[in-house]
Amino acid sequence: MGMYITGFYAGLLGLIMLALIANVGRLRGQTGVSLGNAGQDRALLIADRRHMNFIENVPLALVLLAIIETNGAPHLWVHVLGIVLVIARVIHPFGLKPESMRSTCRLIGAGGTMLVTLVASLMAIWLFVR
């Protein structure tokens, strides 16, 4: 049994990740900073954290989507979780700013990602114990 639904959302999220890392690479080229942000470059710090936040949160959510899809979760649920995750990860970088943690985009992005991870985690457990 293939993981076509998860594969679709993984593909979309892969494109988002490439956009985030391309921005980091562009700024590294402009600043000549190979690692970190040299403690000074604000734009590079922001771009790097946007990319790393994605890397810190998306893989587990995708693994959980794959697990629930493979273990027979209704396709509608997998699609809903995938859509929420993609929307959350598109919105989140726009709210990730060093001057404030209070941002609607950050709340929607982080909240959506956590919601998908929570629901998919509970579904994975439920599919095991049922």
C-alpha angle with apex 103: 99 to 104, nearest 5 degrees?
Answer: 165
Mean pLDDT score across all residues of the chain: 95
Rounding to the nearest 10 degrees, give the CA dihedral for residues 9, 13, 15, 20: 170
Dig out the tokens for 9 from the structure. 């959302």
CB 81 within 8 A of CB 119: yes
* pLDDT per residue as tens digits for the range 11-33: 999 999 999 999 999 999 999 88
C-alpha angle with apex 102: 95 to 23, nearest 5 degrees?
Answer: 20
Q: Is 68 exposed, middle or buried (0-12, 13-18, 19+ CB in 10 A)?
A: buried
pLDDT at position 36: 80
CB 118 within 8 A of CB 130: no
* pLDDT per residue as tens digits for the range 53-63: 999 999 999 99
* The amino acid at 65: L
Which residue shows structure tokens 């959510």? 61
* pLDDT per residue as tens digits for the range 68-118: 999 999 999 999 999 999 999 999 999 988 888 889 999 999 999 999 999
